[in-house]
Structure 1
Amino acid sequence: MKKLILAVLLISISLANAQVIIGDAVGTASNKTSVLLEFAAGQNKGIIVPYVRTLPTSPTPGTIILDATTATAARMKFYNGTAWQDLSGQDGNVTTALTSQPTGITETGKSIIGADTSPADGVLVLESTSKAMVLPTVTDVQNIPSPSPGMMVYVKGSTKLLAVYNGSKWSFWKP
């Protein structure tokens, strides 16, 4: 009997689809089959990408950063596999924000969601061939009380925009 229960338990665990929801147990996605990471609804908060003072020499395709190599001309950037793409379209000033950021620290650890290991180099790595991250959603970026440089959100409603904050201004991407 114990072996039967153990076998059923192991089969159930192997068929389960892991997912992480930050902020509550419900999230925002109505269909969870393709979701690896998502965030609670109605929080008026976003996800903040890493600030970098030196661009990575061998970034993994899909990397998103706040390029603070020049603090007065910071820009959100995305690595497409061959080149960095500007998501901001305008300079931001992160001089004040950088004063509270550590310097001279080499990050060696990383958290991986979706796999046991990953060749990707990053602080947070989402590794999946069939699942994606659902960004935090807001109805309007004006509802975020104190946006931080490097913040990303999805603006839902009639506009349906990706919004990124470079430390000075929001930039919007429409599908």
Structure 2
Amino acid sequence: MKKIVLIIIITASGIFNAQVALGKTVLESTSSSIEFGSENRGLVLPWVTNSSGIQNPVNGTLVFDTSDMKVKVYQNNLWKDLSVDTTGTADTSLQDGLADQPDAKVSVGTPSSVSGILVLEDNNKAMILPKVASPHLNIISPAAGMMVYDTQKKQLAVFNGTVWSFWGE
């Protein structure tokens, strides 16, 4: 029930305001479609059984690929690995055997035909990741595919199920 209410709120917010804040009450930027709070939690990316099986991905797509336990971004029409360590682990038993629902989508902004679970449609707004100081120390039980902005190192941090990888300049 909570998920349904959240989806309705996100959808309604996208229709009326095109900006959404989760876990916070004040938006930091008018240039954001969605912002997250910073309570030592991160954004868990969608898990896919193999990124090569995604049909018609668009540049900027982010996933956690369970075939090789890596966080990946689709960039310049190729999948790029964001997980430095290749020994990731994840218990996929909760999703094994489940069928994808191709029509399941929440859109923030002007709806388009782009597929995805949560699609930020605006072409002039960005997503602000959850901000966590030293996530490798402060997030107690990170999930495989988690992503945050490390405010201490000032870097993107992704978790592959075993270790954190940090991306900076």
Measured against the shorter chain, the TM-score band is 0.7 to 0.9
Q: C-alpha distance in 1, partners of 2:112/2:24? A: 27
Structure 1 residue 17: Cα displacement: 4.9
Following superposition, the deviation at residue 84 of structure 1 comes to: 0.3
Shift of 1:53: 0.5
2:77 corresponds to 1:82? yes
User: Is 1:155 paired with 2:165?
Assistant: no
1:118 equivalent to 2:118? Answer no
**Residue of structure 2 aligned with 1:33, choices 30, 34, 56:** 30
Normalised to the residue count of structure 1, the TM-score between the two structures is 0.79
Q: Structure 2 matches for 1:28-67, cutoff 5 A?
A: 29=28, 32-41=29-38, 43-55=39-51, 56-67=54-65
How many correspondences in the alignment? Answer: 150
On the 8 A contact 1:26/1:40 being kept in 2, the answer is: no
User: What does residue range 8-27 of structure 1 map to in structure 2 within 5 Å?
Assistant: 17-27=17-27
For residues 69 and 141 of structure 2, what CA distance do their matches in structure 1 show? Answer: 18
RMSD of the TM alignment (CA)? 1.6
Q: Percent identity?
A: 39
* Alpha-carbon distance in structure 1 between the residues aligned to 2:41 and 2:21: 14
Contact 1:107 1:123 in 2 (8 A): no
CA apart distance, 1:125: 0.4
CA distance in 2, matches of 1:81, 1:104: 31
Which TM-score applies when normalising by structure 2?
0.82
Q: Aligned pair 1:98/2:82, yes or no?
A: no
List gaps (5 residues or longer) in structure 1.
1-15
How far residue 18 of structure 1 moved from its aligned partner, in angstroms, is 3.0
Which shifted more, 101-110 or 140-149?
101-110
The structure 1 segments of at least 4 consecutive aligned residues displaced by more than 2 Å after TM superposition are 92-95, 100-104
- Give ranges in structure 2 of 5+ residues lacking alignment: 1-15
